[in-house]
Amino acid sequence: MTDAIAQTPDEPRRVDVGSLMAHDERTRRRNRAERRFQLYGLTAIGVGLLALVVLLVSILSQGLPAFQQTFITLDVHLDATKLDKNGTRDIEEIKKVSTFGYAPLIKAAAEAKMEELGINPEEFGVTGKDAQAMISKEAAAQLRRFVIANPDRIGDTVEFEFLANGRIDGYYKGRVTMESAERDSNVSPGQLQLADALKQGGALSKHFNWSFITAADASENRPEAAGIGVAIIGSLYMMIVVLCLALPIGVAASIYLEEFAPTNWFTDLIEVNISNLAAVPSIVFGILGLAIFINYAGLPQSAPIVGGLVLTLMTLPTIIISTRASLKSVPPSIRDAALGVGASKMQSVFHHVLPLAMPGILTGTIIGLAQALGETAPLMLIGMVAFVREFPSAPPEGFFDPASALPVQVYNWTQRADPAFVERASGAIIVLLLFLLCMNMIAIILRRRFERRW
Amino acid sequence: MNDMRPVERAVDTNEIKFDCKDCQVYYGEKHAIIDVDVKIEDKTVTAFIGPSGCGKSTFLRCLNRMNDTIDICRVEGQFLLDGEEIYDKRVDPVQLRAKVGMVFQRPNPFPKSIYDNIAYGPRIHGLAKNKAELDEIVEKSLRRGAIWDEVKDRLDAPGTGLSGGQQQRLCIARAVATEPEVLLMDEPCSALDPIATSQVEELIDELRENYSVVIVTHSMQQAARVSQKTAFFHLGNLVEFGETGQIFTNPKDPRTESYITGRIG
């Protein structure tokens, strides 16, 4: 105690503010500190928003062109002498003609088209072979698929829209210029001029490309034909597996731990381990999946079922933690009320607590699913990086067929040399982000819809 | 003392519902209820009064084994309901709670319709064979809860949308819907305004005709108004138990007197 206080024990110690109109030093300091803190917060938000804008702009600017594709329209005469030499129209006979057999038809069609438009490729210094190279290598396969599906059209002349070669496509997307074509061994300026002439003649056009979304992946030298169809289906199958396994297991585990389990060292141990599992790097789950599901249980590689199982293990802690949190947030008075009228423990949980916790459980589940949807590392370990051209069949067999996944497809494409694949990868990222956005929207809607007050 | 005797004898003719002897409750190490002996009678309102933390709510919750849900809580002693030990291993607390209903401090209707709030108990106990019987139970319970006239036009409205006093009467109606023999009330009016309080008190008085009612209350006036018997708890001990009139006018224990006159608590 100071002397001053000892001398005047009854005098209260007041803050000497002087006039209320003038701020004293302490107040000014406090106000400055508050303003400074608000500035820090605003700066943090600003940096975050800027990063988001940069990310979105770069992805959209690179990825949106992937949804557009350059097509060349040709009238192809399906020459019976080449496709069906015996004239039997036997489908097995027709299937024997490989894509090499179709190439001359396309060549003939291209020449006919240029003649019709009055374009002489020699003018641009383009040989007939180079002119044919402007059409994607996928064209022959496309033609063959059509003929096998419609053998009765052999002998007719049919109009086809063929994909243009990736370089020609890149020319109309700004990726390839006359200057870069000079240095490029895959494309010459003459081909680009020829493409411009075709465009003027109406034989070449650029429009929306559904096959990017529906088609399978394509090989290194035909980026124009690559699509994310198999990856979407693979991701979808995995999400089905994750939802069917993780939701019931996770919810059952959380209900038991939260409502029934006695508090002892064992449940404490489980609790700590669940929290730790949530922080385990996902690649560790991949190794686990490889060791258990593939090497020990003998499930096929690259299959959505294995991917789904691994992602289930990864998602479970997220679901359990969020489910327990939402069970905990149900007021105990509801449990008391149910027990008070003579409901059993289980009735009180299933009739009252669970419905009230449902929005939180569903939100947690969807966020867990979204996390799983974007996961790459564990899938690489279980062989989902493979190049898959075949669509998996319908469930349940399809769960065991090889498939790809969206994030893995992105990873795959970014590793390829052709710059056209960068555009594809960004396009796939856009699709992935759209899926995530939709899932988060569903989570928000569910929460709004089922939210109750008590 | 003499003028109290006839009343005591009159009350003694009622059948004993709960016969509790040497009751001990521990919360972990803490001895929360010490050597409590109480006899609770049928068709009587018994009030538990006492300062905060004296164990009256704890003891009340022992009577329908609501304390079972608390892991660290341990109960010892004899709790006979109609001569049967309710803490016996063979007793299922769910059946017990159907016999001993409970109303809580804060109104806690289910976030469902008014109808479903009342119908829930009868449904899980299978008291109604069909919809018509269930409707009848709901109406009867709401009438007993003195809330029928206010809600009969909106049985499908959520129970949480009612006012605090209506919610509490809804909870009382929900408790009586399962036809319990004893009704436990844990400070049923502490969250209510004076008008709602007097409505609930009137209701408690009516309920006495059919049930044995045990009420925990902070308000001594309320205990004096609604109860016939009063038990005074202090620091886990049952200090005094007897006729409400006698406790309030002529307490035997000095601690009771101090509490009633406002010197402790």
A262, A334, A344: residue with CB nearest B110: A334
Please say if the pLDDT value at position B159 is more than 60: yes
Q: What is the pLDDT of residue B265?
A: 54
pTM of the complete model = 0.81
Q: Is there a contact between A341 and B95 if contact means CB atoms under 8 Å apart?
A: no
Query: Does B134 reside within a domain?
Result: no
Looking at the structure, tell me whether residues A137 and A240 fall in a common domain: no
Q: Which residues of A touch B121 (CB under 8 A)?
A: 341-343
Query: Does A67 reside within a domain?
Result: no
Interface test with A, best of B94, B103, B123 (most A CBs within 10 A): B94
Query: Does A20 reside within a domain?
Result: no
Looking at the structure, tell me whether residues A188 and A258 fall in a common domain: no
Looking at the structure, tell me whether residues A411 and A264 fall in a common domain: yes
pLDDT tens track for A383-442: 888 888 888 888 888 889 888 899 999 999 998 888 889 889 999 999 999 999 999 898
Looking at the structure, tell me whether residues A194 and A336 fall in a common domain: no
Positive or negative, the Cα torsion across A96, A98, A101, A106? positive
**What's the CATH code of the domain at B11?**
3.40.50.300
State ipTM. Answer: 0.84
Taking the CB of residue A304, how many other CB atoms lie within 10 A of it? 31
SS3 B190: coil
Q: Is there a contact between A341 and B177 if contact means CB atoms under 8 Å apart?
A: yes
Of A205, A221, A248, the position where a domain reaches its end is A205
Q: In sequence order, what are the beta bridge partners of A73? A: A161
Is any Cβ of chain A less than 8 angstroms from the Cβ of B120? Answer: yes
Query: Does B59 reside within a domain?
Result: yes
Looking at the structure, tell me whether residues A78 and A125 fall in a common domain: yes
What's the gap between Cα B6 and its chain centre?
Answer: 26
Q: What is the mean pLDDT of residues B153-182?
A: 90
Looking at the structure, tell me whether residues A244 and A157 fall in a common domain: no
pLDDT tens track for B7-54: 444 444 578 888 998 999 998 888 988 898 989 988 899 999 988 888
A324: containing domain: 229-450
Domain tally for chain B? 1
B242: containing domain: 2-111+180-260
CA distance A43 to chain B (A): 43
Looking at the structure, tell me whether residues A240 and A201 fall in a common domain: no
Nearest to A340 by CA among B112, B17, B93: B93
Domain tally for chain A? 2
Spatial strand order in the sheet of B100-103: B84-85, B73-81, B16-27, B30-41, B237-243, B229-234, B45-49, B212-216, B182-186, B100-103
Q: Is there a contact between B174 and A341 if contact means CB atoms under 8 Å apart?
A: yes
Looking at the structure, tell me whether residues A356 and A440 fall in a common domain: yes
B104, B120, B174: residue with CB nearest A333: B104
Is any Cβ of chain A less than 8 angstroms from the Cβ of B124? Answer: yes
Interface test with A, best of B66, B120, B141, B162 (most A CBs within 10 A): B120
pLDDT band, residue A454 (cuts 50/70/90):
very low
Query: Does B119 reside within a domain?
Result: no
DSSP string, A63-96: HGGGGEEEEEEEEEE--HHHH-TT----HHHHHT
Q: Which residues of B touch A343 (CB under 8 A)?
A: 94, 120-121, 124
Query: Does A155 reside within a domain?
Result: yes
Looking at the structure, tell me whether residues A181 and A269 fall in a common domain: no
Q: What is the pLDDT of residue A369?
A: 92
Looking at the structure, tell me whether residues A199 and A252 fall in a common domain: no
Of A205, A220, A242, the position where a domain reaches its end is A205
Interface test with B, best of A334, A341, A453 (most B CBs within 10 A): A341
**What's the CATH code of the domain at A395?**
1.10.3720.10
Query: Does B203 reside within a domain?
Result: yes
Contacts of residue B18, Cβ cutoff 8 Å, sequence gap at least 6: B38, B39, B40, B63, B79, B80, B81, B182, B212, B214
Looking at the structure, tell me whether residues A94 and A171 fall in a common domain: yes
Q: Is there a contact between A344 and B94 if contact means CB atoms under 8 Å apart?
A: yes
Q: Which of A31-35, A118-122, A399-403, B97-101 has the lowest mean pLDDT?
A: A118-122
Cβ B128 vs Cβ B122: under 8 Å: yes
Looking at the structure, tell me whether residues A267 and A163 fall in a common domain: no
Query: Does B120 reside within a domain?
Result: no
